Structure 1
C-alpha cells in the first residue's frame, strides 16, 4: 500500500497521476492526505484513490482549488526541513480557531486572511501577516503571540490520520474491480518498458 502526503516543490517532479493509476490498477491501496497527497486524492478519487482529512475534503468539495494553498517553504534536509513559511491551509485553520475562541475579532480575522491569501507562499509567516494587516503596533504584537500560541498544523493533523489509516489497512493487494483499465501509453512504455502484461 502507499500513503502519499507531500512532495518537494521546484526541485523534484511531482508524483504523476499515471503512476497512481498504475498502482490502483495493480490492486495497491493508495491513500492521500495533507498536501500533495490531498491534491492527488481529490483528482484520483474517481479511480479508487482514498482521500483522508480536512484538506482532502476541501479540495474534493472545491473549497480549495490552488496548489499554492498547501505549499510551504522549508530548509534543507541538513536542517531537518525547518519550516520557513506557513501554508495557507494552516493559517486558515489557525485563524478559525482564534476567531471561535474570541481571541481575534471578525474584522481582524478577515484582514489577516486577506493578507495571507495575497502573500506568496514562500513569504507567508505569521509575523509578516500581522505586520501587513494590523496597524496598531501593540495589538499586532499581542496578536502575533496569539497566533503562535494557537497555531493549527492542519497538514500534520491530516498526515497523522493518513498514517493511522495505512497502519489499519491489511498489507495485501485487493482485486481491482474498477470500471476503467490502465492505458499504457507510448510515453509510459518508454519510461517503464518492463511493467509486465
Structure 2
C-alpha cells in the first residue's frame, strides 16, 4: 500500500470547526465529513483500504452514537483512529488501551479525571452544515471562568457559584446569553463582559485542539 493511502485522514467534524480558518482543511490527504454517528466507520472500512480516521464531533440524540465495537473492528483491520476535542476525546479516553490515539487538552482532561462527565463537551448545534453551535459546552465555560479567576476579575467563590449553577442546568441552556446574564449579577462592568464574550473563541478549547491537530497532522507520521 502506498504512503499516500497511509497518510489519508477522514475527519468527522461539525461545530468544533466554528471559527477555524478553512485553509487548515485544504490538504489533499484530508477528507472532511459531518459529525460521526453509528455505522459511519463500518461503512468507511468496507469501502476503503486502511488509513486514518479522526473523530472530533458526533451525533448521539437523533441517531445512535458511534460505537466502541465498530472502532475496535477498524483498529483490528489496520486503521489508525484519533480522537479529540469532543466525542472523539471521550472515545479515545475509553479506548486508548485498545489502540485508539487521543490528542489535545480535552482528551488529557478526560484521561486525568475519571469523574469528568460527557456533558462537559456536549452542546446544541445546527443540524445541517456548517453545524454552528447554539449553546456552549461546559468545558469552554470553565476555561473562561478560570481565566477570569486568574486575572482576578472574579473570586474563587464567584467562580464556583457560577460553575455550580451552570453545571446543574440542561446543557442546551448553557448559552453565551445566559452566561452574560449571570455575569451581570457580579460587580463587573457590562462593557468588560461584552468584550470578553465577543472574543469567546479564545476559550473554545475544543476548537483550539482541532486547530493544533490540523497544523501538526500527526496522522502523517504514523505509517507503521
TM-score greater than 0.5 by the shorter chain = yes
Higher mean displacement: 58-67 or 14-23 = 58-67
Q: Which residue of 1 aligns with 2:158?
A: 108
Q: Does 1:126 align with 2:172?
A: no
Cα–Cα, structure 1 residues 168 and 17, in superposed 2: closer, same or farther, change >3 Å? closer
Q: State whether residues 31 and 162 of structure 1, in contact with CA within 8 Å, keep that contact through their aligned partners in structure 2.
A: no
Q: Which residue of 2 aligns with 1:185?
A: none
Give how far 1:116 is off. Answer: 1.8
Higher mean displacement: 33-42 or 114-123 = 114-123
Secondary structure of 2:82's match?
Answer: strand
Q: Does 1:148 align with 2:197?
A: yes
- TM-score, normalising length from structure 2? 0.67
Q: Which residue of 2 aligns with 1:55?
A: 106
Give how far 1:165 is off. Answer: 4.8
List runs of 5+ in structure 1 lacking aligned partners: 175-197
Cα–Cα, structure 1 residues 9 and 154, in superposed 2: closer, same or farther, change >3 Å? same
Q: State whether residues 86 and 125 of structure 1, in contact with CA within 8 Å, keep that contact through their aligned partners in structure 2.
A: yes
In the alignment of these two chains, the number of paired residues is 171
Cα distance in 2, alignment partners of residues 38 and 108 from structure 1: 29
Per-residue CA shift, 1:16-72, capped at 9, x if unaligned?
Answer: 111111111122111100011000000000011110111111111125521111101
From 26, 33, 53, give the equivalent of 1:2: 53
Q: Which residue of 2 aligns with 1:180?
A: none
From 140, 143, 146, give the equivalent of 1:93: 143
Q: State whether residues 153 and 188 of structure 2, in contact with CA within 8 Å, keep that contact through their aligned partners in structure 1.
A: no
List runs of 5+ in structure 2 lacking aligned partners: 1-51
Higher mean displacement: 154-163 or 28-37 = 154-163
Cα distance in 2, alignment partners of residues 134 and 118 from structure 1: 19
Work out which structure has the larger RCO, using CA pairs closer than 8 Å and 6 or more positions apart in sequence: 1
Give how far 1:132 is off. Answer: 4.3
Instruction: Give me the CA root mean square deviation.
Output: 2.4
Q: Does 1:14 align with 2:65?
A: yes
Cα–Cα, structure 1 residues 101 and 135, in superposed 2: closer, same or farther, change >3 Å? closer
Higher mean displacement: 47-56 or 150-159 = 150-159
